[in-house]
């Protein structure tokens, strides 16, 4: 049986459908406004400032490790400082750039996300601020813990920067960040092996240990 279609009067106004959960009904919500302010702030930060800030933070990490080295009484402090600042910091900065490149590649592979490189450099550069905490390694009793906290905070801040740039819902952000950090961490450990004393921050602990054992101060038995 066919029913006759209902005719609307000319003056009738069709009702709007009820809102569905998930619709973007509040573009000016507090969370959205905060994200827009962060994005605008990033655009106001010049690229040279962000890169210089990152380099200064890595120099602070290296200086904190050197201050810890002073308490060990091993090696020439001036030579160690020169190696750490002139070799360790440039290596750390170059590997940080490689860290970001790997993160971009992983995000494109896993999350199918195109990451704006200029914005990522600004975000990641400012995310290096926890490395300044490494200056607290001058306190002997808590040196190693402070160094680890500084690097851990750096990884967490970089993770947040990647999430902001790639989008909160992007897949593979954590994997991308950890893949890049793994490269940085492994090479820094290699720079602290043997008689090298150029790795920054808590990595100098490996140099101190090898220097102590090589001098016969501590006998390691197997």
**What is the distance, to the nearest Å, from the Cα of residue 213 to the centroid of all Cα atoms in its chain?**
34
Backbone angles phi, psi at 44, to 5 degrees: -80, -20
**For residue 197, pLDDT beyond 70:** no
Domain limits, the chain: 32-213
Q: What is the dihedral of CA 201, 207, 213, 215, to 10 degrees?
A: -120
Tell me the C-alpha distance between 180 and 96, whole Å. 8
Q: Report pLDDT digits (tens) over 69-128.
A: 787 666 667 877 888 888 889 999 999 999 999 999 999 888 788 889 999 999 999 999
The residue whose two tokens read 């003056």 is 11
pTM for the predicted model, two decimal places:
0.74
Q: Report pLDDT digits (tens) over 126-136.
A: 999 999 999 99
The answer to whether 188 touches 74, Cβ cutoff 8 Å, is no
What single DSSP character describes residue 217? S
């Amino acid at each position: 049986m066919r029913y006759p279609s209902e005719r609307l009067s000319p003056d009738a106004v069709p009702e709007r459908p009820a809102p569905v959960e998930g619709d973007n009904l509040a573009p000016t919500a507090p969370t959205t406004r905060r994200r827009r302010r962060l994005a605008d702030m990033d655009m106001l930060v010049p690229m040279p400032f962000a890169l210089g800030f990152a380099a200064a933070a890595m120099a602070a990490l290296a200086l904190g490790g050197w201050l810890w080295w002073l308490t060990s009484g091993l090696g020439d402090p001036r030579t160690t400082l020169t190696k750490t600042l002139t070799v360790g910091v440039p290596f750390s900065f170059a590997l940080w750039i490689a860290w970001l490149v790997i993160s971009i590649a992983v995000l494109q592979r896993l999350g199918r996300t195109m990451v704006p490189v200029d914005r990522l450099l600004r975000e990641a550069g400012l995310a290096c601020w926890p490395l300044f905490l490494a200056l607290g390694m001058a306190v002997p009793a808590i040196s190693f813990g402070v160094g680890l906290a500084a690097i851990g905070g750096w990884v967490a801040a970089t993770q947040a920067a990647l999430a902001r740039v790639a989008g909160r819902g992007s897949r593979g952000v954590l994997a991308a960040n950890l893949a890049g950090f793994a490269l940085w961490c492994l090479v820094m450990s290699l720079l602290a092996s043997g008689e090298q004393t150029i790795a920054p921050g808590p990595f100098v602990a490996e140099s101190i240990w090898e220097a102590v054992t090589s001098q016969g101060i501590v006998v390691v038995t197997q």
